[in-house]
Structure 1
Amino acid sequence: MNTTTLTVEKAHFSLIKSWLVWACAAMFYAYQFLLRVSPNVMTGELMEAFSVDACALGTLTGLYYYGYAALQVPGGTLIDKMGTKKMLALAALFCAGGTLLFSWADSLFIAGIGRLIIGAGSAFGFLSCLKTGTSMFPPQKLPLVIGMTLFLGIVGALVAGTPLVILIDLVGWRQALWILAAFGIGICLLAWFCMNTEPSPELKKYISSHHAPDPEKLGIIEGIVLIIKKPQSWILAFYGMLLYVPLSGFADLWGVPFFIQKYGFSKHDASSAIMVFYAGVALGGPCVSWVVNYFKSYKVSLFLAASIPFVLMSIVFYSPSDFFNYTALLALLLGAGFFLGSQFLIFTVICELNPLSVSSTAGGFLNMMCMISGVVFQPFIGKLLDLSWQGGFVDGVRAYSTADFIFAMSTIPLGLLIGTILVFFIKDAYPKG
């Protein structure tokens, strides 16, 4: 048992309040994850409603990432300066409003504004959980907090699979979005009236003593400069961006149509396959804290997060469609998702490399780079599909062949391979002693 663990065990404070505050923030994170992924199960309906091709649909849904990515650094700074409670309540209200606007849209322009607003509100989801983790938990608990946050987020993604398909079949995609907007309003009220983000004096003293002190009273610009001047910040950012492509480019949008085309799945089975992939990520997130403690290294987990999904997803993309059955495919997706969940350790690393007062800003910078993968790769994969399209239509919508999808999806294993190489340049910030 190491010295750090003994210190935690001898400290006299309770984490019950911390977990309750985290639960409220994580609930919003799950909600915004649901909103982000929801177009994946309504691609046909959206293409028909707005009369668009694959590239235009990718651009429309990708507008979420423009709003999300653009507000990561400002959002992190706002949370650092104004607190989690106010920003979380306002963000939930933004998400609900954007969802209503998207559901009412009768043009691509209005729908795009709705997605942009949803993305802007969602920008505060993970950052709120990260700020709660750094300001209300001992630093040794941060990997577990991030892992559990990811778990709740993936639960939101799972709800955006088969359950959302069933809801859309029952009431229609526009009415389903009305119901989702109501949940956002409920989270706003919960955050405003129930969150208390001030830790106990004992816990606050302990947390402060285990973080690097601020070099001086940092202003907004000074804090941002401090972060972006570090080469490690950029290496972690590019790693995160590449490893987020399987989520943003595949699971969030193009995974369901890919499985329908290549493997001949029904929409229900295809969405279930994506749910299994997300379930793997959800399980891998919390488990990574034990993997880290076993190896006493962040780099080992980050290497596994890139290399094993590279192999497993390559098998899914490039193997013949009759090479294995549905159960075997689900096992491959579960394994790929499980190891991919370790990638979120990069947020622990960047928080360890920066002072506590700019933890949300540092997380915002890193998350911004991760979300750029959605801005770039959702329309880019759609563009690759359009480039290889042979001219076929089904019910007035472009029909893409298996070869088209394999060509477009090749960006995902390529990104994972580059991410594997980047791990060798990441500094291992695992606490020693």
Structure 2
Amino acid sequence: MSSSKFSALAVVVCLLGASFYMYEFILQVSLGVMTNELMRDLSLNAASLGIVSAFFYYAYMPMQIPAGLLHDRFGPRRILTFAILVCAFGALFFSFSYSMWLASAGRFMMGMGAAFSFSGALMLIARWFPAGYFPVMTGVVQLMSSIGAITGELPLAIAIHRWEWRPTMLYLALLGIGLACLVWLIVRDFPPGHAATPYSPGDRHRPAHQGDAIRLSRVFGRMQSWWVALYSFLIWAPIAAFAGLWGVPFLSAAYHITIANASMACAAIWIGIGFGCPFIGWLSERIRRRLVVLTTCGVLGIIGSILTIFLSCLRPFFIFPFSC
């Protein structure tokens, strides 16, 4: 989008795309607040619970590259709608599971659908907003993911306490089906009046396989791509492992607080991500020094991890209020 302006429809379309990212984060972190219930009802131990959780990422990780190619070939509207439905039916399957392997299959379906969320939201931003808005809007997408993660902490813990985990997952499945309907009805691949190009989705004359192979070889052939991927893995993996699964039971045991209060403490991670991402996106665009921003964020992550995990005996100030 070359214009310096954007429409209200662009905001609605991109927020719906980001809403899928928010929804999949609710599903992604949901195991963290139902560990005791799952271990009880499915006869799991810590190791088998970790296996169930990991099945989400077994699908999520390898689907990243196909997700981008499919978005480009068929357009985000169709792909996002289908991916949301896959997530929703994975949640539905999970709610009726009675063994570790059935629960793992449900998590696998959720991860497979979730793999399309972030790339789809970014594609909508790139097509509906001017280029200068891309860093800030990417931060907004991350903000939506943080809202989803926060919802998957304390609010979901309260819902599970009230309705148990099976009905709660069923309600989440219905929520996903509703979101898929909204995306199909409202989201469009391009803004109104967008001129068709030889690479527009649905163009049968496009040399798709040849084009995809060339683009992938260029990406994989650049060392910078691998450094960015490695950085993303190292800075995100601790968040996924701690805030997404083991943070709540760890904080509950280490600080002797309730599951609800541990969920509130873990939500502080997502609040920091939610407020920080739009600001970091704006700052990086303003100063044009990406390496300084990335290094600073990594150092802050190390300091926060040390304070939270290894200095529990000091009861950091962000945990202490919740233990009263």
The CA distance in 1 between the partners of 2:224 and 2:290, in whole Å, is 14
Assess, with a 3 A threshold, how the Cα gap between structure 1 residues 276 and 12 changes in structure 2: closer, same or farther. Answer: closer
Letter in 2 for 1:183: L
Question: What is the TM-score with the length of structure 1 in the denominator?
Answer: 0.68
Q: Report the CA distance between 1:153 and its aligned residue.
A: 0.8
User: Sequence identity of aligned pairs in percent?
Assistant: 30
Structure-2 separation of matches of 1:12 and 1:106: 54
Are the structure 2 counterparts of residues 66 and 327 from structure 1 closer, same or farther at C-alpha, using a change threshold of 3 Å?
closer
- Which of 137, 146, 154 is the aligned partner of 1:154? 146
| Aligned partners of 2:56 and 2:107 also within 8 Å | yes
1:42-121 alignment runs, 5 A limit:
42-121=34-113
| Residues 399-418 of structure 1 aligned to structure 2 (within 5 Å) | none
Counterpart in the other structure of 2:204: none
Instruction: After TM superposition, give the deviation of residue 135 of structure 1 in Å.
Output: 2.0
Aligned to 1:257: 249
In the TM superposition, residue 296 of structure 1 has moved relative to its aligned partner by 2.2
1:138 to 2:130 alignment = yes
CA drift of 1:321 comes to 1.8
Q: How large is the RMSD of aligned CA atoms in angstroms?
A: 2.3
Query: 1:228·1:234 contact (CA, 8 Å) conserved in 2?
Result: yes
Q: Secondary structure at the match of 1:244?
A: helix
SS at match of 2:313: coil
Partner of 1:165: 157
Deviation for aligned residue 1:236: 0.5
Aligned 8 A contact 2:6 2:129 in 1: no
On the 8 A contact 1:102/1:113 being kept in 2, the answer is yes
Q: Shift of residue 313 of structure 1?
A: 1.9
Unaligned runs of 5+ in 2: 198-207
Number of the residue aligned with 2:118: 126
Shift of residue 324, structure 1, vs aligned partner:
3.8
CA change 1:188–1:55 in 2 (3 A) is same
When residues 41 and 203 of structure 1 are mapped into structure 2, their CA distance, relative to the original with a 3 A threshold, is farther
Q: Is the 2:308–2:316 Cα contact (8 Å) retained in structure 1?
A: no
What is the alpha-carbon distance in structure 2 between the residues aligned to residue 320 and residue 179 of structure 1? Answer: 36
Structure 2 residue 222 is the aligned partner of structure 1 residue 230: yes
Structure 1 residues not aligned, in runs of 5+:
1-7, 206-215, 331-433
Q: Which amino acid aligns with 2:259?
A: K
Q: Shift in Å at residue 14 of structure 1?
A: 2.7
TM-aligned CA distance change 1:325 to 1:48, over 3 Å: same
The equivalent position to 1:245 in structure 2, one of 231, 237, 250, is 237
Q: How far apart are 1:264 and its partner, in Å?
A: 1.0
Q: Whole-Å Cα distance in 1 between the matches of residues 305 and 7 of structure 2?
A: 39
Summarize the Cα distance change of 1:168–1:233 in structure 2 as closer, same or farther, 3 Å threshold: same
Q: 1:248 to 1:323 in 2, by over 3 A?
A: closer
Q: Is the CA contact 2:6–2:128 (under 8 Å) kept in the aligned structure 1?
A: no
Q: Do structure 1's residue 32 and structure 2's residue 28 form an aligned pair? A: no
Task: Tell me, in whole angstroms, the C-alpha distance in 2 between the residues paired with 1:98 and 1:34.
Answer: 13
Alignment partner of 1:267 out of 244, 259, 267: 259
Deviation (angstroms), 1:16:
2.6
Q: Given residue 147 of structure 1, which amino acid in structure 2 is its aligned partner?
A: G
For 1:15 and 1:176, how far apart are their aligned partners in 2?
A: 36
Q: Secondary structure at the match of 2:191?
A: coil
Q: Kindly tell me: are residues 306 and 266 of structure 1, through their superposed partners in 2, closer, same or farther at Cα, counting changes over 3 Å? A: same
> Which residue among 165, 174, 177 is the counterpart of 2:166?
174
| 1:328 Cα deviation from its structure 2 partner | 6.3
- AA aligned opposite 1:142: F
SS at match of 1:198: coil
Q: Is the 8 A contact 2:255 2:315 kept in 1?
A: no
Matched, 1:289 2:281: yes
Partner Cα distance (1:329, 1:142) in 2: 38
CA contact (8 A) 1:13 1:203 kept: no
> How far did 1:124 drift?
0.9
Deviation per residue, 1:110-149 (Å, 9 max, x gap): 1111110011111111111111122222222111111000
Q: Is the 8 Å Cα contact of residues 17 and 117 (structure 2) preserved in structure 1? A: yes
Q: Tell me the TM-score normalized by structure 2.
A: 0.90
Of 250-259 and 221-230, the range deviating more from structure 2: 221-230
Is the 2:255–2:312 contact (alpha carbons within 8 Å) kept by the matching residues of 1?
Answer: no
Decide whether aligned partners of structure 1 residues 232 and 290 sit closer, same or farther in structure 2, where only a CA change above 3 A counts: same
Give the match for residue 199 of structure 1: 191
**Equivalent residues of 1:21, 1:197 under 8 A apart:** no
| Residues 12 and 202 in structure 1, CA contact (< 8 A), matched pair in contact too | no
Q: Secondary structure at the match of 2:115?
A: helix
Q: Is the 8 A contact 2:28 2:56 kept in 1?
A: yes
Q: Secondary structure at the match of 2:6?
A: coil
SS for the counterpart of 1:265 is coil
Aligned equivalent of 1:428: none
- Per-residue deviation at 1:295? 2.4
Aligned amino acid, residue 238 of structure 1 = L
Structure-2 change in CA distance of 1:254 and 1:329 (3 Å): farther
